[in-house]
């Protein structure tokens, strides 16, 4: 499942989920030996989507691996081949021909294949999960370093005239919306063609026109309407609208929610009313599936997060599945979306590199494209814990933020800083996120009080006094099942104690607009016997979850649940 609803009712689509032929290429000889022309006898098959590290004897494999799938095309036809997410570097070949390269991990990329002849075709993917100083994330990162095709691969049959994309925007004045719908119709034909374009909201037709498209061209149709008295999407009270664009032999469905986001007096306002954010950081990760997180388990995560009393989730630290965001849309839960620029060990030298910045820019663009219509998404975040004290960080951030502002003006732009008292980036953002671990990595929990006092003074001196400040990370490790009489480090008791004390401090500070506990569930860490990084991660897990990796609640879960339920705005 890709979405909780059908994105196409007319276009024929097929998921290529299931077994693919799979081969490791640890010596990286595949390109030289032209495996894309002649795939070697497959050593075994790999289920797609999945992470290969979850298979036997593959746990710590980082490097190159090849996938192959035969596809059957019933008629000579145009085909759209979509890879919804492949970790790291991906080169795609069709019948021995290189179709293209993509770098990323959590966003889709696609190829449109004109007039693919009827019959069998061979799709080959070379992936490389190797991290280095210029990949995003870079080589030292605090989550397990999986590889593979982690989200579905989709095959769509498209007609000569097809809907390339649809974009829905609106301006709200109370409950009156000026709606702007843009539909791009693309021709793959040799001749000029005409089609009807019809737009529906649910089953209700509200627009129809004839569109002429020259051979091989794209026409962007823009429809502007005034919709009065729309039902507003709100926290805990979701209202969704389904918009379908239909042409002669194709269609596309998008789902939106009408809501207005603002900031005022240190608070996030949704539809003019302040919402105190009660959140957690969630990795989309599970020990059995890695990042190929099954939709069924997303329902369970959602239920647990609702039990906890959250009204928001931070998608740490990469664009999460559209299915997950659909669930948040349907439940009125706010979302923070970010790209995997994870900076705690990011050298300044890397920040300066053009390739690194270009990768970050294209990840931002792909994230916005993927999540654009989800009403739950209210924050775009450009990075986490980079060294935000340097001019190089400033220059890169300015570039990322200005590109985001061109892509979307309707959401708040933010980041998470680990240097709140020295950060020079504050003025660039709408909202400031602070990550700090008093009671765990430094001092005791009371350290938050002094830090926040100094931070507010500093923010004021930088002209940022009114911006909402969110506590985007805080907490400590608690090993599931380790409970006792005394709150020892790494016990559930100690974790529950520091998290609840921290929450009380934040709630007392009128300048804090919300909290995201680090973290929802325990995740696998990236420990290596020959590396000094993350050696404090017992069991090779980051144990700061309120639930363990199998979603069993710890004491801290009960405490946060009690506290979040007691907070009313
Ligand atoms: C950082 C980082 C998280 C995690 C956390 C921790 O704040 O943003 O990804 O690594 O520290 O557990 O130390």
Residue by residue, DSSP assigns 339-395 as ---B-TT--HHHHT-HHHHHHHHHHHHHHHHHHTT-TTEEEEEEEES--TTSHHHHH
CB of residue 522 inside a 6 A radius of ligand 1: no
CA of 470 to the centre of ligand 1 (A): 16
Q: Is the CB of 160 under 6 A from ligand 1?
A: no
- Rounded Cα gap, residues 193 and 186, in angstroms: 10
Ligand 1 center to residue 50 CA distance, Å?
25
Which domains, and CATH codes, for the chain? 17-151 (2.60.120.260), 161-256 (2.60.40.10), 262-566 (3.20.20.80)
What does the alpha-carbon distance between residue 388 and residue 394 come to, in Å, rounded to a whole number?
A: 7
Atom of ligand 1 nearest to the CA of 435: 7
Q: Which two tokens stand for residue 161?
A: 């005239």
Pocket flag, ligand 1, residue 385 (CB < 6 Å): yes
How far apart (Å, rounded) are the C-alpha atoms in residues 489 and 12?
55
Q: What region, left, alpha or beta, does residue 20 occupy, with left being phi > 0 and alpha being psi -120 to 50 degrees?
A: beta
Confidence (pLDDT) at 503: 98
Phi-psi region of 500 (alpha: psi -120 to 50; beta: other; left: phi over 0): alpha
* pLDDT score recorded for residue 569: 64
Nearest CA to ligand 1 atom 10: 142
Residue 2 CA, ligand 1 centroid: distance in Å: 29
* Mutate which of 137, 140, 141, 142 for ligand 1 pocket (most atoms within 8 A of beta carbon): 142
Strands (E), 54-191: 64-73, 77-86, 88-94, 97-104, 109-116, 119-128, 149-158, 161-173, 176-187
Pocket test for ligand 1, best of 435, 441, 523 (most atoms within 8 A of CB): 435
Cα(142) to centroid(ligand 1), Å: 7
Number of helical (H) and strand (E) elements in the chain, helices listed first: 8, 30
Residue 495's H or E segment, with its range, is helix 492-508
Which value, in Å, is the radius of gyration of the alpha carbons in the chain?
Answer: 24
How far apart are alpha carbons 344 and 301 in whole angstroms?
Answer: 27
Q: Does residue 284's CB lie within 6 angstroms of at least one atom of ligand 1?
A: no
Ligand 1 within 6 A of CB of 526 = no
Q: What is the DSSP letter of 90?
A: E
Nearest to 343, CA basis, from 441, 423, 413: 423
Q: Please list the residues that pair with 438 across neighbouring strands.
A: 442
Query: For residue 143, how far is its CA from the centre of ligand 1 (angstroms)?
Result: 9
Which ligand 1 atom sits closest to the C-alpha of 519?
A: 12
CA distance linking residue 539 with residue 196, whole number of Å = 60
- Are 71 and 120 in contact, with CB atoms under 8 Å apart? yes
Residues belonging to the chain: 569
Find out whether the beta carbon of 494 lies less than 6 Å from any atom of ligand 1.
no
Q: What span, in angstroms and rounded, lies between the C-alpha atoms of 279 and 499? A: 13
**Is the CB–ligand 1 distance for residue 281 below 6 Å?**
no
> Tokens for 221?
């149709």
360 Cα–ligand 1 center, Å: 20
**CA dist., res. 26 & res. 562, Å (int):** 50
CA torsion, points 230, 235, 241, 243, in degrees to nearest 10? Answer: 120
Instruction: State the 10-residue block means of pLDDT for the chain, 569 residues long.
Output: 94 97 97 97 90 96 98 96 98 98 98 97 98 97 96 98 98 97 98 98 97 98 98 98 98 98 97 98 97 98 98 98 98 98 95 98 98 98 98 98 98 98 98 98 97 98 96 98 94 98 98 98 93 92 98 98 93
Phi then psi dihedrals of residue 219, to 5 deg: -115, 130
Ligand 1 atom at shortest distance from the alpha carbon of 142: 10
Ligand 1 neighbourhood includes 384 CB (under 6 angstroms): yes
Report how far residue 131's alpha carbon sits from residue 160's, in angstroms, rounded to the nearest whole number: 41
Rounded distance from Cα 157 to ligand 1 centre (Å)? 43
Burial level of 148, CB count in 10 A (0-12/13-18/19+)? buried
Q: Strands 412-417, 12-15: parallel, antiparallel or unpaired by DSSP?
A: unpaired
- Give the number of the atom of ligand 1 that is nearest the alpha carbon of residue 475: 12
Question: Ligand 1 centre from 440 Cα, in Å?
Answer: 11
Residue 397 Cα to ligand 1 middle (Å): 20
Strand-pair partners of 279: 312, 516
Atom of ligand 1 nearest to the CA of 384: 8
- The CA distance from 499 to 87, in Å, is 33
| Residue of 284, 316, 340, 344 to test ligand 1 pocket, by largest number of atoms within 8 Å of CB | 344
Those residues with Cβ within 8 angstroms of residue 62's Cβ, 6 or more apart along the chain or in another chain: 129, 130, 131, 145, 147
Helix (H, G, I), strand (E, B) or coil at 216: coil
Helix axis angle, 295-308 to 322-331, nearest 10°: 40
CA 535 – ligand 1 centroid, Å = 14
Residues of the chain by 3-state class (helix, strand, coil), percent to 5: 20, 40, 40
User: Using a 6 Å cutoff on CB, does residue 492 contact ligand 1?
Assistant: no
Query: Is the CB of 376 inside a 6 Å radius of any atom of ligand 1?
Result: no
442: which DSSP letter?
A: B
Report how far residue 404's alpha carbon sits from residue 490's, in angstroms, rounded to the nearest whole number: 40
8 A C-beta contact, residue 528 and residue 520:
no
Q: Is the CB of 544 under 6 A from ligand 1?
A: yes
Residue 528: what pLDDT? 87
Residue with tokens 């539909």: 183
Count of beta carbons in the 10 Å neighbourhood of residue 180:
14
| 519 Cβ below 6 A of ligand 1 | no
> Can you give the pTM of this predicted structure?
0.98
For residue 385, the ligand 1 atom closest to its alpha carbon is: 8
Q: Ligand 1: distance of its center to the CA of 534 in Å?
A: 10
* DSSP annotation of 52: G
Q: How far apart are CA 524 and CA 539, in angstroms?
A: 9
541 within ligand 1 shell (Cβ under 6 A): no
Q: What is the separation of C-alpha 199 from the centre of its chain, rounded to a whole number of angstroms?
A: 29
As a whole number of angstroms, the distance between CA 346 and CA 550 comes to 31
């Amino acid at each position: 499942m890709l979405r909780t609803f059908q994105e196409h009712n007319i276009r024929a689509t097929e998921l290529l989920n299931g077994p693919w032929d799979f081969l490791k290429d640890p010596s990286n000889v595949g390109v030289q030996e032209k495996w894309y022309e002649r795939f070697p006898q497959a050593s075994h098959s790999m289920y797609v989507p999945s992470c290969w590290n979850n298979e036997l004897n593959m746990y710590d494999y980082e490097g190159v691996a090849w996938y192959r799938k035969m596809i059957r095309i019933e008629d000579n036809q145009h085909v759209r081949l979509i890879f919804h997410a492949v970790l790291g570097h991906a080169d795609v070949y069709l019948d021995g021909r290189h179709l293209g390269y993509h770098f990323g991990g959590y966003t889709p990329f696609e190829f449109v294949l004109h007039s693919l002849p009827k019959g069998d075709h061979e799709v080959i993917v070379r992936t490389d999960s190797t991290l280095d100083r210029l990949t995003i994330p870079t080589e030292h990162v605090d989550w397990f370093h999986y590889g593979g095709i982690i989200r579905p691969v989709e095959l769509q049959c498209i007609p000569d005239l097809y809907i390339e994309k649809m974009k829905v925007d609106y301006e709200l004045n109370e409950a009156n919306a000026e709606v702007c719908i843009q539909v791009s119709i693309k021709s793959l034909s040799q001749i000029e063609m005409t089609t009807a374009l019809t737009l529906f909201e649910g089953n209700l037709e509200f627009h129809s026109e004839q569109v002429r498209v020259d051979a091989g061209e794209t026409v962007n149709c823009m429809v502007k309407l005034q919709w009065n008295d729309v039902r507003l999407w709100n926290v805990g009270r979701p209202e969704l609208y389904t918009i379908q664009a239909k042409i002669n032999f194709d269609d596309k469905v998008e789902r939106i929610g009408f809501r207005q986001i603002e900031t005022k007096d240190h608070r996030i306002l949704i539809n003019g009313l302040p919402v105190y954010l009660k959140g957690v950081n969630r990795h989309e990760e599970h020990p059995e599936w890695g990042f190929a997180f099954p939709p069924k388990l997303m329902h369970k995560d959602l239920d647990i997060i609702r039990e906890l009393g959250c009204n928001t989730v931070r998608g740490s630290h990469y664009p999460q599945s559209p299915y997950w965001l659909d669930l948040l849309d349907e439940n009125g839960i706010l979302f923070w979306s970010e790209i995997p620029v994870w900076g705690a060990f990011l050298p300044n030298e890397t920040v300066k590199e053009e390739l690194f910045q270009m990768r970050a820019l294209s990840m931002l663009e792909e994230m916005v494209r993927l999540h654009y219509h989800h009403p739950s998404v209210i924050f775009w975040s450009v990075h986490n814990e980079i060294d935000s004290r340097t001019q190089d960080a400033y220059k890169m951030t300015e570039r990322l933020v200005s590109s985001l502002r061109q892509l979307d003006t309707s959401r708040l732009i933010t980041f998470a800083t680990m240097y709140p008292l020295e950060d020079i980036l504050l003025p660039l953002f709408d909202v400031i996120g602070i990550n700090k671990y008093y009671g765990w990595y430094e001092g005791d929990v009371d350290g938050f009080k002094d830090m926040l006092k100094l931070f507010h003074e500093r923010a004021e001196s930088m002209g940022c006094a009114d911006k909402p400040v969110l506590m985007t990370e805080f907490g400590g490790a608690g090993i599931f099942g380790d409970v006792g009489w005394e709150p020892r480090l790494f016990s559930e008791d100690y974790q529950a104690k520091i998290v609840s004390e921290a929450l009380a401090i934040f709630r007392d500070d009128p300048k804090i607009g919300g909290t995201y506990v680090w973290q929802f569930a325990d995740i696998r860490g990236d420990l290596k016997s020959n590396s000094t990084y993350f050696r404090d991660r017992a069991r090779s897990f980051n144990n700061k979850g309120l639930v363990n990796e199998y979603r069993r609640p710890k004491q801290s879960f009960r405490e946060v649940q009690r506290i979040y339920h007691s907070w009313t705005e």
